[in-house]
Amino acid sequence: MKDNTITSAVIVGAGIFGVSTGVQLARRGIRVTMLNEGPPAGGASGRSLSWLNSSRMRSEPYHRLRMAGIDRYRTLSARFPDADWLRFEGGLTWDADDASNGIDAAYRHEVSLGYDARHLSAGEVAAITPGVDTSTITPQGAIFNPGEGWVDLPSLIGLLLKEFAALGGTLVTDQGAAKIVVEGGRAVGAETAAGNRFTADAVVLATGPAVPKMVAEAGETIGDATPVALLVQTKPLAHPLRAVLNTPRVAVRPAPGGTCSLDVGSKPIPGDGEPVVGALRAIPGYHVAFSHSGATLGLIIGELLAHEVATGSEHPMLATFRPERFASR
């Protein structure tokens, strides 16, 4: 399908949101230039635990968006059934043994949504998912979600960039940080620190935790609650772990090559915890993508945002995630 609303776009940021959006726009026949300060996946996407889930409690629109995101990964998994970078082998979570423990409430909420969940005692865990020291599971038990999984985002981004290049997309790296160019009240492109300007009909800002600050330079506001983050990658080791673990101390998942990824910090998080996706209404041609759960939302955000950029029409699944909600606070 080729849309006639725009013919060109510039994307700033080559993490999962930027690359996914770029591929979707290129599939529509739009000429896309993607700018990144360093190599692709060098920011938040390279530090993500990349747990594919919609567990616990959140708004209904956010849950539906995450479920759609998981659906797109299942479609991708069917195309690459032997991929070592995308697996659906469940997730296991438990809380600390104190007043903050919300396992029972979370389980009842997940069941009410039809989200596949099993409330397990410590003694039941070993038979369900191997590789867990069950002595660390608190008396309130754990939740096992069989439909959850994980993705290695750098591997996925590499795959998408091959398609992006085949579709005629241009990737520009190592020219320093880019800034959005606004002229006459409209976003008209972006300029790298090296002084190269790239003009287009539409601009997408997808620079992870840098989004709020960059938007502020244009006089707009996006609430930001991003903390310091860290992902630790182990050396290859023999282990039976297959599920993603979300524990009171650290989150852990298997990774390609027999390694493990340990997440000891959060990732880009908007001020109210909900995604920020879509056009800045005050600045025509300027679109943003900023959210926690970048892995879970990576494919669906690219699809829906590309739809909006290409057609000029708003997608109903993004209705509650508009950037302007912060302007009224």
pLDDT at 243 over 70: yes
pLDDT at 266 over 80: no
Specify whether the CB–CB gap between 21 and 301 falls below 8 A: yes
Least-confidence region, from 71-85, 168-182, 187-201, 258-272: 258-272
DSSP H helices in the chain: 16-27, 60-79, 103-112, 122-128, 153-166, 211-216, 294-311
Across 287-294, average pLDDT? 95
Place 50 in a pLDDT band, splitting at 50, 70 and 90: very high
Tens digits of residue pLDDT in 168-194: 999 999 999 999 999 999 999 999 999
**What pLDDT does residue 259 have?**
93
Please give the domain boundaries of the chain with CATH numbers for all domains: 1-85+150-227+268-329 (3.50.50.60), 91-146+230-264 (3.30.9.10)
Cα–Cα distance for residue pair 171/180, rounded to 1 Å: 16
Cα–Cα distance for residue pair 18/302, rounded to 1 Å: 7
Phi-psi region of 326 (alpha: psi -120 to 50; beta: other; left: phi over 0): alpha
**What pLDDT does residue 328 have?**
63
Across 35-62, average pLDDT? 93
Place 250 in a pLDDT band, splitting at 50, 70 and 90: confident
Cα–Cα distance for residue pair 125/169, rounded to 1 Å: 47
Name beta bridge partners: 231.
Answer: 263
Across 118-145, average pLDDT? 96
| Angle between helices 294-311 and 16-27 in degrees, nearest 10 | 40
